[in-house]
Structure 1
Amino acid sequence: MPKPLLADPALFTRDLSGRRYVVTGANAGIGFVTAKQLALQGAHVVLACRRVAEAEARIAEIRAEKPDAKVEARALDLGDLASVRRFAEGINADFDRLDGLVNNAGVMNTPQQKTADGFEMQLGVNHLGHFALTDALLDLLKRSAPSRIVNVSSCFHDKAMGRDGDIHLDDLFFEKRKYDGWEAYAQSKLANLLHAKGLAKRLEGTGVTAVSVHPGWVRTNLAKHTMPLWVQDYVLRPFMRLGGLIEPWEGAQTTLHCVLSDDVPNHPGAFYSQTGTYRDRSANRGGWPLRSPNPKAHDDALIDALWKKSEALVASA
């Protein structure tokens, strides 16, 4: 695999004092690395996590490096829209600005489960929870413009373990077809990409830039239902490194570039990719931005149809 793409080091020397960011799933992996870097640069960062105790422990790590870091943990369960609404109400009440929302949290290849609202777990957490969260914070982001929304998608929106990424609007929750964890994951990650494109269309002229990213094949616990971390570390890591396994700092590079780079607003709705695995091998080197090889990623009718379906589902919960 090609070497991972790295952000301009000058971005990490910027003073972010006075800026405020929300990063979901920031208690581990690339979410934590992203939140930590923003905090080390002086930003006020909210670690939005389901397991607050874990987030508090990670905050202690940040403050060990920067004792005056402005970081806090707040409870957010993306699988429960009541929790999403409570979280957003708190942010809207306590913050007078929000410079960036990083929709990073996610689950991958889970057994068939439902969220608290009855949605298929992967689409519910990865897409619908973030769709509702973004909508609830959108006015604050607009008032704070220029601001950013970064959706963490995946190269698996294109193809996941042989399953083509697609959106089944007539059966989003696998009620009419046999459940397949990888197919459900691919669907949710394509939804993340289409959500960013839908946002870009609706936010034109507001100063809010929405994009999606593939962070790379990162060594994290996201794949715990498929490959425990100890397997990655002790058995497969030497081989997977040759196939593109990267560390969380490398995996956070694309997200951090999209949050901080002055060039990103020139590409609203774009997909930014770390090195990956695509049906078109020429895309494997990644690109900031990269045109997705999946034709569904460029289907305007699908973008609008998914938006309307998502609005209806969130409103019904």
Structure 2
Amino acid sequence: MATQVFDSDSEDELPPGWEERVTTDGKVYYANHETQNTQWKHPVTGKKKVVKGELPYGWERSVTEDGTMFFVDHINQKTTYTDPRLAFAEEVKDSPLDFRQKYDGSSTALQILHGKDLTGRFVLITGANSGIGFETARSLALHGATVVMACRNVQSAHECRARILQERPEAKVEVMFIDLASLKSVQQFADDYEDMGWPLHILILNAAIFGTGYIQTEDNLEATFQVNYLSQFYLTKLLVNIMMRSAPGRVVVVSSENHRFSDLKENNLTVEKLSPKTHTYWHMMAYNNSKLCNILFANELNCRLSPHGIVANSIHPGNMMSSGLSRNWWLYRLLFALVRPFTKSMQQGAATTVYCAVAEELGNVGGLYFNNCCRCPPCKLAENKSMAVALWSLSEQILNSRIIPRKIVPNDGS
């Protein structure tokens, strides 16, 4: 039958003769085979742990005739007496902000998802047809989530979907059209999503453009500002009722360390500054400013929606990654190619996004900025509450001057 397997946390190695076990309600206890005693605290660290959630995808709990519990891994055709969730046991915390760093810059999205079953969870990802967005979509879909790829290039998105289905035929992946350079398209997308009747548990605002040169959208706005920030702000507003009905939920906003080089200030936060005209435009500053807006938006969104069971965090995926961002100018393509051996892979680049989307310890934690799967202080201006509120108000003014107003997100968190 099954053979006994002794698992131990690499950070909390058990002494010889000790074994971790789990009660039916998920509490971890420790058995000493020499003394025949049990205790709740780790014999070395004194920590208490619990396991949460269902068994990982492909696992089943069974009981023998004499009442002994064992676990069957149908994917790998193995059995064990050890609850597989022990690998992801969590410390009993006094505060939700008290969490240790489990992963780092070398971690991959699939490592973070190891053992997780996201069946029944609906995830919407903008810009999911290339680079980090695709790896994020692929990783989540391989672990059972229903992934909606919101993309402008639907042909590319369908090709990416086919790649995922080739890897896992039973994966649930949908493709929907959205053009973030058009507010009408964003509104149509939200209407179409609502018509589908799907819930929405995780919203990942990943899409971005960089180094395009000056482009004016049909809404008379500068494209970097609209695509990287304003349209995704608008999309969130339009979908937030669905998220609240589906709560608990999470919003992950992909920002960048470039936010530290923004020239935005409270006293120059205007439409003209956010969406400059040709004579004042510099593509790098437009990108930096949009990434600061991303963090300010995520922080304020968390303040407004956390009372409704939805948390929002912002992240930096990685430095100088060989992603689709560099496609718009040959110089950037060359630069990204030269540094490629020293940068993260797409799997590593998707790790922080996936961590913020699924990590159990972040279920009630929002308003933070993450880099390398770890909480990281952003620039001081990114944590400026009054500037976040001012940006929110200005964003609504810009939207209301160009579309029929649709006020959805509560203004006071109520």
**CA distance change for structure 1 residues 116 and 176 in 2, over 3 Å: closer, same or farther?**
closer
Q: C-alpha distance in 1, partners of 2:346/2:330?
A: 16
1:281 alignment counterpart: none
1:304 aligns with 2:404: no
RMSD value, Cα: 2.0
Which amino acid letter does the alignment assign opposite residue 328 of structure 2?
H
2:38 alignment counterpart: none
SS at match of 1:246: coil
2:227 alignment counterpart: 125
Do the aligned residues in 2 keep the contact of 1:156 with 1:165 (CA within 8 Å)?
A: no
1:290 alignment counterpart: 376
1:146 alignment counterpart: 248
Choose which of 216, 223, 239 in structure 1 pairs with 2:326.
223
2:340 alignment counterpart: 237
Q: C-alpha distance in 1, partners of 2:299/2:322?
A: 28
Deviation track 1:133-165 (CA, whole Å, cap 9, x = no partner) reads: 000000111111111111100000012xxx646
Q: C-alpha distance in 1, partners of 2:143/2:331?
A: 33
Which deviates the most, 229-238 or 55-64?
A: 229-238
Give 1:225 shift: 3.0
1:109 aligns with 2:211: yes
**CA distance change for structure 1 residues 176 and 105 in 2, over 3 Å: closer, same or farther?**
closer
Q: C-alpha distance in 2, partners of 1:229/1:54?
A: 22
Do the aligned residues in 2 keep the contact of 1:166 with 1:187 (CA within 8 Å)?
A: no
Which amino acid letter does the alignment assign opposite residue 208 of structure 2?
G
Q: C-alpha distance in 1, partners of 2:207/2:381?
A: 23
Q: C-alpha distance in 1, partners of 2:332/2:215?
A: 22
SS at match of 1:68: coil
Q: C-alpha distance in 1, partners of 2:376/2:337?
A: 33
Give 1:6 shift: 2.0
SS at match of 2:237: helix
**CA distance change for structure 1 residues 307 and 65 in 2, over 3 Å: closer, same or farther?**
same
Give 1:266 shift: 3.9
Choose which of 150, 174, 188 in structure 2 pairs with 1:48.
150
Do the aligned residues in 2 keep the contact of 1:7 with 1:256 (CA within 8 Å)?
A: no
Which amino acid letter does the alignment assign opposite residue 263 of structure 1?
E
Do the aligned residues in 2 keep the contact of 1:154 with 1:214 (CA within 8 Å)?
A: yes
* Structure 1 unaligned spans of 5+: 275-286
Deviation track 1:169-188 (CA, whole Å, cap 9, x = no partner) reads: 22221249621111110100
1:136 alignment counterpart: 238
SS at match of 1:22: strand
Do the aligned residues in 2 keep the contact of 1:221 with 1:228 (CA within 8 Å)?
A: no
Do the aligned residues in 1 keep the contact of 2:108 with 2:347 (CA within 8 Å)?
A: no
Query: TM-score normalized by structure 2?
Result: 0.67
Which amino acid letter does the alignment assign opposite residue 325 of structure 2?
L
1:4 aligns with 2:130: no
Give 1:227 shift: 4.9
SS at match of 2:284: helix
Choose which of 254, 257, 264 in structure 1 pairs with 2:362.
264
Give 1:228 shift: 6.0
Alignment of 1:135-214 (within 5 A): 135-159=237-261, 164=263, 168-170=268-270, 171=272, 172-175=274-277, 178-214=280-316
**CA distance change for structure 1 residues 112 and 99 in 2, over 3 Å: closer, same or farther?**
same
Which amino acid letter does the alignment assign opposite residue 365 of structure 2?
H
Which amino acid letter does the alignment assign opposite residue 4 of structure 1?
G
**CA distance change for structure 1 residues 260 and 123 in 2, over 3 Å: closer, same or farther?**
same
* Structure 2 unaligned spans of 5+: 1-103, 403-414
Q: C-alpha distance in 2, partners of 1:314/1:27?
A: 27
SS at match of 1:204: helix
Deviation track 1:248-284 (CA, whole Å, cap 9, x = no partner) reads: 111000000000001223431111113xxxxxxxxxx
Which amino acid letter does the alignment assign opposite residue 304 of structure 1?
V
| Paired-residue identity, % | 36
2:120 alignment counterpart: 18
SS at match of 1:107: coil
Which amino acid letter does the alignment assign opposite residue 367 of structure 2?
G
Deviation track 1:186-209 (CA, whole Å, cap 9, x = no partner) reads: 100000000101101111311101
Do the aligned residues in 2 keep the contact of 1:166 with 1:190 (CA within 8 Å)?
A: no
**CA distance change for structure 1 residues 186 and 175 in 2, over 3 Å: closer, same or farther?**
same
SS at match of 1:158: helix
SS at match of 2:190: helix
Do the aligned residues in 1 keep the contact of 2:222 with 2:277 (CA within 8 Å)?
A: no
Structure having the higher helix fraction is 1
SS at match of 2:280: coil
**CA distance change for structure 1 residues 225 and 312 in 2, over 3 Å: closer, same or farther?**
same
Deviation track 1:76-135 (CA, whole Å, cap 9, x = no partner) reads: 101101110111111112134111110000001321111221111111001001001000
Alignment of 1:78-117 (within 5 A): 78-117=180-219
